[in-house]
Structure 1
Amino acid sequence: MKTFITRTITALFFVAIMLGGMLYNEYTFFLLFFLINFFALKEYFKLVRLIDPEYNEISPWHKYGVLVAGCAIMMAFSGPNFSFGELSIGEIGWVTAFIFILVLPLGEILMSKNFTLKFIGYSLLGLLYVTVPLGLLVDIRVGHQAGSLMESISFGLYGVLIPLLLIFFIWINDTMAYIVGSLIGRTPFFPSISPKKTIEGTVGGMVLAIAAAGIYGYFWGNDLLYWPHWIALATIAAIFGSAGDLLESRLKRMAGVKDSGKIMPGHGGFLDRFDSLLVAAPFAWIYVLLFVFK
């Protein structure tokens, strides 16, 4: 009972922070995902150190420099929107990221006791796995500027709605997969990675999430976003979100841990909460760029 109460309180607090940060304005949206990126990166590097203990031998310059690079890349994705005088956060981010990504390998060669290219690879993979997807969400929110007032209103609405829908569809897919799997799940999906997942639950969650998105989008959401986009985003969330969940489960199994972190009691860490989003976001960004922001 105590565990249930803890999980419930944590979940409500988490939802309130997410909705507040995403909906209040573009500044809070950026700050929210900037912080998520920072803590998720730290959890990723912790998993890598458990998977390959040799990664503990990287120099302090490398250890902290890659976190700075990740934060700088997030700043770069904000574009020209947040300015201080003649400089924007985006411009500062691009310059800082460029410098650190170029200098990090040199610093590792000079300062590391046991230099190997795989250390650079682990760090770059972390930036690709965590920072770039979250940066693309920021780009959807603030990266599209339009000329006329009506276009600005339209793009502003899409910038808020699309990331929100993507997260919501991931949640529906996970919830429906759990319910269907509990009721009729019999066939293991990837037993070596996630023993509790079943094919019936995974497929059922996808179908119900896509169906719910299509029905709601067609009858009630079409004025906000053309209803086929609801189906497309739900499909992306269901397929690639499930892949993201399996990917993080694989990393945790290799590291020998149950959760990526303990910052959210009863719910694990940042990677545990956003693993599906990290894989789904790039595909959503591509779809939005090709079919929505055109």
Structure 2
Amino acid sequence: MTGNVTAGLNGTPESFAAVRWAAREAWLRQLPLRIIHVREWPLTPEVPVPPQQSEEDQALLEKAARTAGLDRPGLEITTDNLSGDNPTRTLMAEVDAPGRVELLVLGSRGLNALAGFLVGSTSLPVVAASERPVVLVRSEDPADAVDEGAAPGSEELVLGVDLKETGADEGLLAFGFTEAARRNSRLRVVHAWSLPAMYSYAQTADPGLGDELQGHITDTLERTVAPWRERFPDVTVQARAVVGTPGAELVYASPGAGLLIVGRRRRRHPMGPRLGHVAHAVIHHAACPVAVVPHV
């Protein structure tokens, strides 16, 4: 089965923004676009099977398909209406089926500059548990993240990496460099760090200690990125190690970016799948679409 780019639809402006973003991504990847509408329908002994798709559901899907195909002639678009007593489980069953979905795109609702952005009750658990990369898009984001008539390299993607997780960023780096190459975009690779508490007194005695650590971390970042520079020689890359909190530094880097990419470790947790604090911060506060990529 050929993989596709899937967009989740619930009729909100945010979900239509997700459909438009997904259409562009499917076009770039030369993959079909699938639009899924999930309707919550509590199953009871009296109604053990969800009813058939309503005219309202069908009209919603048709509108979304027209929206997706406006500037994408020839894009293969399919639509599906799904029902279940748990929208998250229903969507996850479709998304994580082997070979079916390469990328899932969902909408997230904007609040305000102080409160950040609200991720819905369905979107958040899907992002936390999905085996596939998930992109969150707001209605305030442009239909396309970049003007396709703009000069090559005019768009910038931001990729957050954690150097403490040895080898864990391979899939994340592969996603970021591939996406930058596909879009003909610049790529800014960011690692944020802070001085360990045990070094506080030592730095007082040796003010140059911080500079020494900065140099060591910068060298490590460059070595991490170097093989990917060789694999993607046409991608313009800037790698920076910055002092600060990872979530905050990535949010600061997000204005004007076409996409912010972060990782999510596949951890087993007694309370179920959970997002790390960095991914949680950026999906609520970043000023651009956010891709969350699961990795080991």
Q: Judge same fold: TM > 0.5, yes or no.
A: no
In terms of fraction of residues, the more strand-rich structure is: 2
Q: TM-score, normalised by structure 2?
A: 0.30
